[in-house]
Structure 1
Amino acid sequence: IWTGTHTYLEPDLFYISAELEARLDPQHRTTADLVIEVISPGSAIYDRNTKADTYGALGVRELWLVDETASTIEIRRQTGSGFDAGTIHTRGERIASTVFPAPVLTVEQLSHD
């Protein structure tokens, strides 16, 4: 996802709806409907703060931060001026995206154990 002319972020996974795709340059995508980032211990602070804030400023509608170490998924949703404070989901909880037409998932399905 491009943040400038020569700078971009590489999410672990992202989803762009057909509606949004029609408005974007396919060679220079600047936002997404859903971004999923798998948090690594070495970049956790960067992923949760700087990178998340950048996705929010770019208008990403929903951000999932998957923390395999803690077995949690934090879901942040766009408010119009960035992301909300987010909700943290733990093992056994069912989660669903508000922007991706997918079935309800569990934290375990998105964690690697």
Structure 2
Amino acid sequence: MEKEASKSLVKEPDLSYGKYSYADYLTWEMEEMVELIKGKIFKKTAAAPRRIHQWLTGNLYTEMNLFLKGKKCQAYIAPFDVRLPVKSKKDEHIHTVVQPDICVVCDLEKLDDKGCVGAPDLVVEVLSPGNKQMELQRKYEVYEESGVKEYWIVDPEGKTVLIYTLTQGKYSASRWMTEGDVARSSVIPGFELDLDEFFKDA
């Protein structure tokens, strides 16, 4: 992501400091991808994601993107900044910036040149050995709190998919679905994912 030229770039912010904002984030020049959750920095793994992570993420994004062609919603794949403001949309007041593997945004007014400001309608995270706590705990909490309507977790190792659906501000979970099941979205009406086909070459 392009950083604002007017700001001095910081190569390595203090990871123990827990009150950073998106305005700070824009000044960082770090080799690895980072996310900001409630003001605290979380580094993504320095190594490239495993092949199967990239394979499944790319295939699911392609399926969603093709399905959404001609519809009002748009799908985006990481790296793509999603800012989750609590009260103010000003950069200095935003303390959570995440990069979901895939997100779908139906309110196009939330999109700008920097990414998305506000909760996407649907988020997909594909688990990796080093990110399970992040996806299953920390991101679960901020996605629920910020109003992400549907949160898919894809587990390549178990060949399973879990869908959380937001109901009255709280997530309710589907069962873990696997080969032989069809995952369906309530946020993208009509979108179905045949898990036999999806995991076939995984």
Q: Which TM-score applies when normalising by structure 2?
A: 0.49
SS of match in other structure, 2:170: coil
Paired with 1:43 and 1:15, the residues of 2 have a C-alpha distance of 21
CA offsets per residue over residues 47-71 of structure 1, 9 Å max, x none? 1111111111110000000000110
Q: In the comparison of the two structures, how many residue pairs are matched?
A: 110
Shift of 1:78: 0.5
Query: Can you give the 5+ residue segments of structure 1 that lack an aligned partner in the other structure?
Result: none
Structure 2 residue 103 is matched with structure 1 residue 14:
yes
Aligned pairs for 1:73-112 (under 5 A) are 73-111=161-199
What CA distance in whole angstroms lies between the structure 1 residues aligned with 2:125 and 2:133?
13
Change (3 A) 1:100 1:87: same
Does the Cα contact within 8 Å between 2:162 and 2:173 map onto a contact in 1? no
- The change in CA–CA distance for 1:9 and 1:110 in structure 2 (over 3 A counts) is farther
Distance 2:139 2:95 in 1: 16
Give structure 2 stretches of 5+ with no counterpart.
1-81, 86-93
Offset, 1:95:
1.2
2:147 is aligned with 1:59: yes
What is the root-mean-square deviation of aligned Cα atoms in Å? 1.9
Over alpha carbons, which structure has the higher Rg? Answer: 2
Residue deviations 1:22-72 (CA, integer Å, cap 9, x gap)? 3x2524512011000001111112211111111111100000000001100
Which of 1 and 2 has higher RCO (CA within 8 Å, sep 6+)? 1
For 1:50, which of 134, 138, 145 is the aligned residue? 138
User: Is the CA contact 2:144–2:171 (under 8 Å) kept in the aligned structure 1?
Assistant: yes
Rounded Cα–Cα distance in structure 1 between residues aligned with 2:192 and 2:151:
16
Calculate the TM-score normalised by the size of structure 1: 0.84
Q: Distance in 2 between matches of 1:13 and 1:86?
A: 19
